[in-house]
Structure 1
Amino acid sequence: MSGADDRHALVLGASGFIGRHLVLALGRAGVRVSTANRGRESYERLARWLAGRGHDRIPADLRVDFTDPSLIDGACDDITEVYNCAGAYRFGMSVDEARRANVDTVRAVVAFAARLPNLRRLVQVSGYRVGGQAPGPWSDAYRRRTYRALGAYEASKVEADVVFRSMATELGVPWTVVNPPSVIGDSVTGESDQYLGLASNVKDLWQESLPALPGNARTFVPVVAADYLARFMTLLPMDAATEGAAYWPLDDDTPALPDLLTLIAQHYGVKAPRARVPVPLLKRLPRRLTKADPETLTFLSTDRYPTDSAHALAARHRLPMPDTATTIRRWADHLAAHRFGDAPAGDRRFTRPAGIRTFELGEAGAPTVILPGLPLNADTWAPVVAALGHARAVDPPGLGMSAGRREDWPSWLTALVTETGARHLVGHSLGAAAAVEAAAAHPDAIDRLTLVAPFFLQAPPPRTATWTPLTRRYLRRTTPVALAERLTGTTDHATALHSAVADLRRGAVAAATARLLADTANAQGRADLRAKLQRYPGHVHIVAGSHDPLTAEAQSLLDTLPHVTVTALADAGHHPQLTHPEAVARAIAEQATSPAPEAAPDVRAVRGRPW
């Protein structure tokens, strides 16, 4: 055993998914860390990632070149342990590309490790489908058969394992191999940016486009939490018994693949496919039907793995494995909240006010809460949230990425304002109605309202808005370009609408949106909202575009209410968060601190329909 004070770890592949979690775990354990990076940019990304998780002890930056015999540019004599997390996790590579990334790098790392005078351990990250191969060099014929049978990625990992063990043994390098399964998110946050393999099945579930569950009750695709794997790896150089051994740190109780996917479907609130496709049949089907890379199908196996030694090591060092089902749910949440890699970086999460699974972005617990209007979502307000700071936007039940139905809104709004710290509600269009309903039910819980383009103070929508089947059909089939032109009169904002269109194509979101749009034409409902607004005693700020004005009747009503101020945005329409996000943020922020309205700057004219 050795203490952290005399340990100096070098991590190769530190900017990758496993590598950065390992650097974080080593740093938290008090180990001095150096990282080998191909360029300054990848190192700076790593440093930002570590700082974002509260770890300011930045590792040293060494430069690595796998084509250079010296490998590392920098002082390495006092390094005590090396972790090789480098390589390529990618399907569809050519044989040569896979071997360069995963076999040649191993040769270079072992040769480098053999030259370190104080090395105690070289830890190689391999894979759970690797191990048990005969030692020694492969013949060309055997290599061709293996790559043909397994595919370039898995075969290169198998070959790399053989090369690593034989070369390390020959050169007298003390080694340990860790064979992780599918590495999913952090056990606490669910964080992951790996979207290959199992994550692609989860994406299909979320989009309700998975036609059938792959495999049967014995199909085993094990998983491990990223943070658990990282902490497990930090233990290996400290324990003399791990030298010359391989470990499979995975949960034997990972549900069979169809059950795992069903667990996630239930968590998402979507229907899991009833049909199951046996793996042998799946391998025979054409790729256009399976939509799966053929290389991934070799991982659909009933094999089990020798996990006893990994469990014993973890127990010896009092490292408990986190509950796998909980980690899976948190990982699934993180994947969906970040739109499986399509969403910009930022604070995004699912919460559960009133037990309703709710998506929100921005600062958790911020007092300013934005309720989006139809047919859009919280993501379309992200620029405004970012400009405001100390704000968040949420998708109401049944809309955007939130679960639930219209019937859930009263209890959900109550929980939002009484349990989550919402004190300033910013409602857009239909969201303005929700804000008024919440204020009417809990006037003492809400300090102020900001109503952006409140439909009930504006002209009624066209009759076509009440044709629910037609609206639903349009929303299910629209494109970002078409929707941008309809809402803003220009296609300039199509990019900002990709997420809204994706949501409208998922589940019952389009149908719920169509029904709610029809409700905005109800004369009695509009009158009730005006009456509730009139009774609310707190400060109210109305923001409307000059091309989407308040009615004369509404203006007369507001003139009688001394606690109401109105801001007109020059040349804006019904969706100013798309066309004028900075002006909207400025109007919200200025009136949140001062009751006196101020004129917004003139901007380019943008005309569009409320719907």
Structure 2
Amino acid sequence: MSSTEPTILLTGFPGFLGSALLERLLARGDGPVACLVQPTYRELAERRAAEIAGPDDDRIRLYEGDITEPNLGLDGLADLESVRELYHLAAVYDLAVDPAVGEAVNVRGTEHVLDVAADLAVERFQYVSTCYVSGRYDGVFTEDHLREGQSFNNAYEETKYRAEVAVQERMADGLPATIYRPAIVVGDSETGETDKYDGPYYLLRLLLAQPSRLALSVTLPGSSDAELNVVPRDFVVDAIAYLSGLESSAGEVYQLCDPAPLSVPRFVDALAEAGDRRTLSVPTPKPLARAATERLADRGLPAEPATIDYLDHPTRYACPNTQRALAGSGLECPPFESYVDRLVAFVREHPEVGDAAMV
């Protein structure tokens, strides 16, 4: 039981990453933590808070609000004057997000959080971006890259890019911030647990929906040269918890990616092997692959046309800054092939999990 005022403000709870990160922050002795929660998710937030800290522990304080509103929809900031560190994770994680929703949540929402950080005069601002601010950058994209004149696969990438630009502009003006760019986040590498079947899960579920003796997948003209950079949730939150505790991380950008990712064909092979599927990859022009995926989705099968763009994604991600900072910590991204079987097992055991984003 704590009687002190909150020292940390967290957005993105009770989301997938936010819940795990909150657990890590409390475990290292931080807090109390004020969590901004949308009214829609209040009940879920209360359950997860009790699971993490216990029903009689007040180290987790829930505040109903909304980042799409000025002042985060709060009735003043008097209750948060003790906050000295702000973790901003709230965003729409959806490749097919409506541009207007992406703009409201990812861009304007981040600007509102930045304004509150300024009003509270926080000593540290921890921001979770994404490697895919790269858009379709042709080449190796590192922590030093951002404004490269790139095009984007979708509104999700573009709005997250614009949000990071806003954060970096405030950093240039003196905000003591750290930016974390995860690659494609999947379930826990130990348990396989996830709360949303999106991204690579569409590939996996489509394979599992087909006969084991012969499952079809598509390969685009550029697939053999493309990489699917995937990271498990536990690595992402462990890295953020560790790096955010370093004074030297202020002002830095860290890409939380796999330094040795699989090519798209090898990635599909890994899914097929873990799912016990004999797979035939059919060379398919991209427009035809997208049209076929749309038809599958219309028939209720696990398919998302927006994922097709990642089968010939031209960007490769490198993380030299992250590797330097994590050296000696014991933290490193595990190879996808070392935990893919756990992801597959979780999907098979939990068909009730959906693909809808928290908005």
Alignment TM-score, normalising by the size of structure 2: 0.80
SS in 2 for 1:217: helix
Deviations 1:239-270 (A, max 9, x none): 23222221111212232222122122212212
| Contact 2:259–2:318 under 8 Å retained in 1 | no
1:321 Cα shift?
3.4
| Residue of structure 2 in register with 1:9 after alignment | 8
1:190 correspondence with 2:192: yes
SS in 1 for 2:106: helix
| Contact 2:290–2:305 under 8 Å retained in 1 | yes
SS in 2 for 1:179: strand
**CA distance in 1 between partners of 2:192 and 2:245 (Å):** 28
Amino acid at match of 2:216: P
Select 1:162's aligned residue among 140, 160, 165: 165
| Residue of structure 2 in register with 1:309 after alignment | 321
Question: How do 1:324-339 and structure 2 match up within 5 A?
Answer: 324-339=336-351
| Residue of structure 2 in register with 1:495 after alignment | none
**CA distance in 1 between partners of 2:307 and 2:270 (Å):** 21
1:54 Cα shift?
7.6
Amino acid at match of 2:125: L
SS in 1 for 2:18: helix
Deviations 1:435-484 (A, max 9, x none): xxxxxxxxxxxxxxxxxxxxxxxxxxxxxxxxxxxxxxxxxxxxxxxxxx
| Contact 1:247–1:310 under 8 Å retained in 2 | yes
SS in 2 for 1:212: strand
| Contact 2:171–2:251 under 8 Å retained in 1 | no
1:337 Cα shift?
1.3
Amino acid at match of 1:324: F
SS in 1 for 2:71: coil
CA 1:335 to 1:184, structure 2 compared with 1: closer, same or farther past 3 Å? same
1:50 Cα shift?
5.1
Select 2:232's aligned residue among 220, 225, 230: 225
| Residue of structure 1 in register with 2:118 after alignment | 114
1:70 Cα shift?
2.4
**CA distance in 2 between partners of 1:167 and 1:297 (Å):** 35
CA 1:336 to 1:179, structure 2 compared with 1: closer, same or farther past 3 Å? same
Question: How do 1:7-406 and structure 2 match up within 5 A?
Answer: 8-32=7-31, 33-39=33-39, 42-49=41-48, 51-52=50-51, 57=57, 59-71=60-72, 72-73=74-75, 75-117=79-121, 119-130=122-133, 132-134=145-147, 149-170=152-173, 172-208=174-210, 211-215=216-220, 216-277=223-284, 281-282=285-286, 284-285=287-288, 287-291=290-294, 293-300=304-311, 301-339=313-351, 341=353
CA 1:64 to 1:316, structure 2 compared with 1: closer, same or farther past 3 Å? farther
1:42 Cα shift?
1.9
CA 1:286 to 1:231, structure 2 compared with 1: closer, same or farther past 3 Å? closer
**CA distance in 2 between partners of 1:43 and 1:324 (Å):** 34
1:207 Cα shift?
0.8
Amino acid at match of 1:176: T
**CA distance in 2 between partners of 1:87 and 1:309 (Å):** 24
**CA distance in 2 between partners of 1:233 and 1:333 (Å):** 27
SS in 1 for 2:162: helix
**CA distance in 2 between partners of 1:220 and 1:68 (Å):** 38
**CA distance in 2 between partners of 1:183 and 1:263 (Å):** 17
**CA distance in 2 between partners of 1:8 and 1:315 (Å):** 29
**CA distance in 2 between partners of 1:254 and 1:133 (Å):** 21
| Contact 1:249–1:311 under 8 Å retained in 2 | no
| Contact 1:10–1:34 under 8 Å retained in 2 | yes
Which has the higher Rg, Structure 1 or Structure 2?
A: 1
SS in 1 for 2:203: helix
**CA distance in 1 between partners of 2:161 and 2:239 (Å):** 22
Amino acid at match of 1:160: A
Question: How do 1:527-566 and structure 2 match up within 5 A?
Answer: none
Amino acid at match of 1:298: D
| Contact 1:122–1:176 under 8 Å retained in 2 | yes
| Contact 1:177–1:246 under 8 Å retained in 2 | yes
Deviations 1:375-427 (A, max 9, x none): xxxxxxxxxxxxxxxxxxxxxxxxxxxxxxxxxxxxxxxxxxxxxxxxxxxxx
1:201 Cα shift?
0.6
1:53 Cα shift?
6.3
Q: Unpaired runs of 5+ in structure 2?
A: 135-144, 295-302, 355-359
SS in 2 for 1:101: helix
User: May I ask how many residue pairs the two structures share in their alignment?
Assistant: 322
| Contact 1:11–1:82 under 8 Å retained in 2 | yes
Deviations 1:525-546 (A, max 9, x none): xxxxxxxxxxxxxxxxxxxxxx
1:94 Cα shift?
3.2
Question: How do 1:368-447 and structure 2 match up within 5 A?
Answer: none
SS in 1 for 2:224: coil
CA 1:255 to 1:67, structure 2 compared with 1: closer, same or farther past 3 Å? closer
SS in 1 for 2:156: helix
SS in 2 for 1:233: helix
| Contact 1:121–1:174 under 8 Å retained in 2 | yes
Alignment TM-score, normalising by the size of structure 1: 0.49
1:317 Cα shift?
3.1
**CA distance in 2 between partners of 1:76 and 1:94 (Å):** 32
1:276 Cα shift?
4.4
**CA distance in 1 between partners of 2:146 and 2:260 (Å):** 26
| Contact 2:11–2:88 under 8 Å retained in 1 | yes
Deviations 1:193-244 (A, max 9, x none): 2211111111001112763243533321111111221111112332232222
| Contact 2:274–2:340 under 8 Å retained in 1 | no
**CA distance in 1 between partners of 2:100 and 2:51 (Å):** 37
Relative contact order higher in (CA < 8 Å, ≥ 6 apart)? 2
1:174 Cα shift?
0.9
**CA distance in 2 between partners of 1:55 and 1:156 (Å):** 36
SS in 2 for 1:99: helix
